[in-house]
Amino acid sequence: MNHAEPGADGAIRWLDDPAHRSFLIRDALRALDFFDASPGADGGFRMLDRDGLPLPDRALELHVTTRLIHSYGLARMAGRPDRADIIDRGMELLWRTHRDGRHGGYVWAVRDGDVLEGTKLAYGHVFVMLAASTARMAGHPDADRLLADIATVLDDRFWDREAGLFADEFTRDWQVFSTYRGMNANMHGAEALLAAHEATGESEYLHRAGRILDFFIAGQAATQDWRIPEHYDADWRPDHAYAGNPMFRPAGTTPGHSFEMARLLLQWWDLAGRPGADAVHQARRLVETALPDAWDSGGGLAYTLDFNGRVSRADRYWWPVTEAIGALAALLKADPRPGDEDWYRRLWRFADAALIDHGRGGWFPEAGTAGRPASGQFTGKPDIYHALQADLFPLVPGLASHAQELARLEPLAG
């Protein structure tokens, strides 16, 4: 490891260990230094290869712009200046380029300032809400207009009031072209709603996040051996036969999403005043099912499982590891049990050995054999968001209000 081990008796948990905390801060700063190269000369953002050089002729997708704003907003509140002007540039890009002035909403993909893919996806729109909420907490002057706009779009176009869930996709001019409903957009919808509640104090955001989490966890996972179906029909019935985009809509179940849902459930529980013990129990069941299901004997977590917990796709991506780290950190804060600390350390040891780029900063997206990165699904380094949160969220003492707690601690200050 690149940080000192606590004593063999485990008396010092890593969340409190100064050496581990220094390791997290260094990793976050090096990732931010790497992704400082994201702005391009055309006013947009560039996708980066493993060396930090721009990839040629790549469309800019909505979730990339929004995640950069969110990540650099968190970093700014944590004390690290936005030297590359990513927040301002991203906010301008959302409003002037991704925002659809003709039909409303936000288009999925742009290139050189032009719309490349105009589909309106809930997945992308909830990330606009996340970016606007974090930008508001970071004090950005344009955050209020963006948050007001995206809240209206999500409410008018995507929110299914009867189900208490987000519908998924429309054409650019809001025509229905599929009956697909999905967990992934709703999971990130809960994330965005919780951030909007933290940014504004409005209770409706918290209420809607709770409805989403209750449907997928108490309503689905609790009846299906604590594995969450990913895909649903128009009536919100699980569609076990569905297989779509291999990254965003893979067949089967996705253990990485169980970790995310567990962390978000604990965040909601904390913000809601910690009502009862069900949320902690449910979060633990999700985590304690997904870890043994997905853990590979060589380290890392399998990407997808079948509905009985058997591995379907054994690819070991970075983001399930980061989300497992976040879930274990939350459990260690809320309800530590024997084994939580061991899993937290095991995950970080694997990340340190197989995923973190110690030479250039950032994380490789996929672990290969013999400790070398793989390049199957992804080109370059597609994302800072997951890894940065895995670095930052364990640094704060609470389960919620991460942005505000980072602002109080300023761990990334010089």
Q: Catalytic amino acids?
A: 257, 386
Amino acid symbol at 258? S
Our measurement of the distance from residue 71's CA atom to the centroid of its chain's CA atoms, rounded to an integer in Å, reads 10
Q: How many Cβ atoms sit within 10 Å of the Cβ of residue 114?
A: 10
Which residues are 316's β-sheet partners? 367
User: Which amino acid would we find at residue 260?
Assistant: E
Q: Residue 225 and residue 114: Cα distance in Å, rounded?
A: 46
Element (DSSP H or E) covering residue 116: strand 114-117
Q: In this structure, what DSSP letter does residue 218 have?
A: I
User: Cβ distance 40 to 46 under 8 Å?
Assistant: yes
Between the alpha carbon of residue 29 and those of residues 387, 411, 414, the distances in Å are: 11, 10, 10
Phi-psi region at 410: left, alpha or beta (left = phi > 0; alpha = psi -120 to 50): left
The C-alpha atoms of residue 364 and residue 390 are separated, in whole angstroms, by 14
Grouping H, G, I as helix, E, B as strand and the rest as coil, residue 293 is helix
Q: Note whether 185 and 108 are within 8 A (CB).
A: no
Q: How many CA atoms lie within 13 A of 109 on its CB side?
A: 10
Beta strand segments in 133-203, E? 159-160, 165-166, 169-170, 181-182
d(CA 132, CA 148): 9
- Please state, in angstroms and rounded to a whole number, the distance separating the CA atoms of residues 101 and 94: 11
The CA distance from 225 to 308, in Å, is 8
Q: Which is nearest to 301 in space by CA: 233, 341, 350?
A: 350
> Nearest 5 degrees, angle CA 22-CA 5-CA 329?
65
The residues facing 232 across adjacent strands are: 181, 238
Beta bridge partners of 117: 109
CA–CA separation, 173 and 105 (whole Å) = 9
